[in-house]
Amino acid sequence: MNSLTDTTIDLDTELIRRDFPILSRQASSGAPLIYLDNGATTQRPETVIEAMSACYRQYYANVHRGIHTLSEESTSAFENARESIARLIGANTSEIVFAAGTTAAINTVARSWGDSHLAAGDTILLTIAEHHANIVPWQQLAERTGCRIVFLPVDETGQIDDEIVQQYLQQWSPKLFAFTAVSNVLGTEFPVARWVRLARQAGATVLVDAAQAVPHQVVDVGDWDADFVVFSGHKVCGPTGIGILYGKSAVLEAMPPFLGGGAMIRTVSTSGYVAGEVPQKFEAGTPPIVEAIGLAAAARYVGEIGLARIDRHEKRLVRRALDGLATIDGVRVFGPPADRRGGIVSFVVDAMHPHDVSQWLDIRGIAVRAGHHCAMPLHERLGVPATCRASFYLYNTEAEVDAFVNAVGEVRRRADRPSRRASARQGS
């Protein structure tokens, strides 16, 4: 694995790509695979695959329950995984709660903190750029409690000025401000630390959806100072079925448990129960043991490569993609300039549905995402039902970006041919 200590050195993508066996395969068309769907999920390096396989092959057992050798070894690896993930984001191990993913983590906050803190007349502030995972749980909370949801608008470049945020905070005095660190559609990098400070001045609790941030840039939850930060394992080279809920210790301590059952209790009797300590009181049932071990291996992998280097690499790729797409007539790109976005480019091609564009690119071996990307309110704001999205990661290359741009150019030229033939017939 690539492990350079000088964070100013560019990534050696050729070396990194050797760590990902899936990248050597071909698409169904026979073309070499160019995987540009990292916003949906990333691929796994050998170290993650091996770590999970080793657990299943050598020491797998349930954790925290047994005193036999396998259980003790599994418990040690599981809790060591919590430490690795805490280091990745600058947290304490007691502040790391394992969940099934970002969605489950947000639902835990909505059900535990939300049900006990919000009531009719209270306000939740979101941005219109949120993933459905950071909208629907709050809508369900509003249905239960009678609180209301207010959305911050994005401007024409997909950004939100601090002045607008401050205005909404002052006008609505929200109990909760929940927002994404990086838009999964626009790629917009929102100023988390600044917005948290503004929210603090307004007396709001803050949740940050960092699913598109933690895998791609340096994240320090201490610097952000948010009450909650959530992200998914499968977007950071880890397995599916696991995510992280970070919460400030004092906040987690004051929250009631959400799911009930085994592992989250201290004692149970016929008359009631006493919840366990944080974080176990939020981890009912058998936890994602092997997934946690895999996620820890992923955290170590990206940490050794260097998230600052990954961030610079992606910004170079996205700038190259934006520059290339800008030369193609009939292609509309959404979002801010390259220096204000992560490695995400969403676009539409005139006279073609995004699904058709995606399918045509797949014939060329290029995997992109097409649809509303679980962000229907944002697409309504953009005035389109769907977009194509290319999203980059540490193993993508400039040559792949060029191939993608060239393929989009071909798509656009193909879309234009019928209208040209129709014009020729009309002219005759």
| 211, 375 contact by CB (below 8 A) | no
Residues 6+ apart with CB under 8 A from 66: 72
**Is-catalytic flag, 55?**
no
Counting every residue written for the chain, the total comes to: 428
Structure tokens at 284: 């009912």
Cα angle: 69, vertex 73, 79; to 5 degrees:
145
Residues 6+ apart with CB under 8 A from 107: 137, 258
Catalytic residue among 55, 147, 374, 388: 374
Beta-carbon count within 10 A of 204 CB: 23
Residues 6+ apart with CB under 8 A from 420: none
| 420, 242 contact by CB (below 8 A) | no
Catalytic positions are: 374
